[in-house]
Amino acid sequence: MAYIWMNSVIFLTAFWSCLAVWAADEQTVVDFEQEKTASMISVQANSTLRYELQNSGNGKILSMTVSPGVANYPGIIIKPQQAWDLSRFGYLSMKVTNTGKAPVSVALRADSGSQWSGNQAYLAPGKTVILQTHFGYKFGKLSNKCDQSKINQILVFIGKPKEELSFQIENIIAGGTPEDKPADNTVKPELPVNGVMVSAESTAALKVNGADGSALSFGDNAYTVTLPANPEYMKNGLTILPVKKNWDIRKYGAISFEISNIGSSEGTVICSAGTVNSSDRYLSIKETIKAGERKSILLPFTLAPGWNANLKTASHFDSTMMPQIGIYAAPENKEPLKIALHKVTAVAAPPAVLPDWLGKRPPVPGNWHQTLNENFDGDSLNKSLWTPRLHWDGPPNNEIQRYLEENITVKDGCMVIKSERNPGHQYNNPKLPTRDYATGAVTSIEKWSQRYGYFEARMKQPKALGLWPAFWTMPIREASFGNIWQRNTTKLGGMEFDIFEHLTRFGPYRYNIACHWDGYEKEHKFIGDDKIYFAPDKEGFVTAGMLWGPGKLEWFCNGNKVGEWQNERIANVPAYILFTIQMGSWSGYEVDDKALPDYFLIDYVRVWQLQEWEALPYNPEPLSNLRKSQ
């Protein structure tokens, strides 16, 4: 009986212990009190980070200090001997405190093979927060499902610092249930109905401030304001804010201000959009308006300045988050200016005015000759130049499309890449992974490549939410160099060039330009700008180009320079061309199925070479250098 009683006690103790664990619904994953934890921690490559386990009133904590350096995301990696099984939990959490003198954004990421989930928190000096990372979410947005049963590492990191930053973290805890979702505490931007941001009917839905002594009234279906003479630049005027924190006008490419001069003298007004106390976050246009005149003043988003990596100039104007608009008196006004504001409307961008040289030659003079002139004539793809698939099977784990060769067609003088909801295997091969969506990929690998020159394509991008059409290049070396992956590496002088990379969630008037090099893992580096605003031409196409020379890159849109970077590291390895539509990953996982199928049209691809560049010797770095770096 004693034996039975003792076993019953042991069973009940174990049962209630397990029940307590499940009831608490928490598990300490990284415990800084345990000696073995120290051996699990390592510093990410190139990180100028120092860490120390310290005693505190609540037990041991991990204190970190990061100095400016070359790493884009300095931090630590925590690796268990065996992967953590966190399948019954919904998130990881940790307490973070900013112990430094400057603000810091700290990220917590959980990896399961190539899949990961992550989140970040902004902390002012002295502030403490509980940072949670929900499995299957990346920075609050739904992502591919991360396998909680096989978490092989946890990363804690920050962005590249400009000054020394310090913070500390406490134990990392798993909690919640797999059904948990991150709280959505964001204030949704205001979507103006039919683009109308200000009108007589919207008086109750706006916060209108007459700034710095400007007299403001409302009557006769308009806002009336008297702007003083000789004002400070962008200081005296009418500032209009949405009820919510921002307007979302990404569907539009310009703002129209309908204004009357109801005074007795001519004057000049400045119409603006964005945060005027930050020079790179607003756009403005100046126009003179005569006494008694009523006019519409158009502020196109293409006024956003181009990106120059060396001068560190770029536009941070964001049409998805428009905090304010305004009308100000110009400093040259000698008399007060009385105006009436009737209406402000977000509108479509007017068609781009194209220079005569576009499509006929490069944007700069020189001894040029054309090396590629693909106009997609006929009714089938020229397979002596193009391959309608990637050179590897794929698709990537964090993307939700498969590629099909039949989704590449030629029609009406264009190459057409179709995106559709069409579940199945990659390339219809039952041995390859399945995806719910199908798109296409076209490359010139092994058929055409070039080092240096001017690359240009005329395209019409799709509009369905969730798509990521792109015109880009990748490096390729001769067959004797090594296997295809070695020949294709972005290390050893190679580089990925993104000439036109459009996310449909940006809206129809914005795209990204970029370079990526030194692989896509720990040593990965990139540079670029995702706020290149454009207007399509009268047929709805955009023409994007890249001028690539030794140590210098320039990007063009509709004949206008929109980006520039000079650096010795710029690729000196030949590159081939790709046109793709990706889904998932950076483009997000929200897809508008009702807008599918949708199409990416490429009207032409043209490339020129400069005689002087063509004559330069080509001495590629040897493959042995790649092996030394691994």
pLDDT of residue 13: 43
What are the strands, taking DSSP E only, across 243-365? 254-261, 267-274, 282-289, 294-300, 307-308, 325-329, 337-347
pLDDT of residue 289: 97
pLDDT of residue 231: 85
Q: Tokens 């500032």 appear where? A: 239
pTM (predicted TM-score): 0.77
User: Mean pLDDT over residues 364-379, rounded?
Assistant: 97
Instruction: Find, among 241, 263, 118, 129, the residue nearest to 190 by Cα.
Output: 241
State what percent of residues in the chain have pLDDT above 90: 69
Instruction: Find, among 353, 373, 352, 351, the residue nearest to 361 by Cα.
Output: 373
pLDDT at 346 over 70: yes
Query: Could you tell me which residue, 622 or 495, shows the higher pLDDT?
Result: 495
Burial annotation 238-266 (CB, 10 A radius, 16+ → b, else e): bbbbbeeebbbbbbbbbbbbbbbbbbeee
pLDDT of residue 207: 56
- Mean pLDDT, the chain, rounded, equals 89
Model confidence at 466, pLDDT cuts 50, 70, 90, reads very high
pLDDT at 420 over 80: yes
pLDDT at 393 over 90: no
Q: Measured at the alpha carbon of residue 78, what is the angle toward residues 492 and 163, in degrees to the nearest 5?
A: 65
Q: Measured at the alpha carbon of residue 27, what is the angle toward residues 23 and 30, in degrees to the nearest 5?
A: 170
pLDDT of residue 18: 41
pLDDT of residue 370: 98
Q: Which two tokens stand for residue 85?
A: 């099984």
Single-letter code of the amino acid located at 588: G
Say how far apart CA 247 and CA 185 lie, in whole Å. 17
Say how far apart CA 606 and CA 455 lie, in whole Å. 6
Q: Which two tokens stand for residue 166?
A: 């310090």
User: Mean pLDDT over residues 583-612, rounded?
Assistant: 94
Say how far apart CA 267 and CA 337 lie, in whole Å. 6
User: Mean pLDDT over residues 233-251, rounded?
Assistant: 85
Lowest-confidence segment of 80-89, 138-147, 270-279, 520-529 by average pLDDT? 138-147
3 state SS of 31: coil
pLDDT of residue 35: 86
DSSP 194: G
pLDDT at 301 over 50: yes
Model confidence at 491, pLDDT cuts 50, 70, 90, reads very high
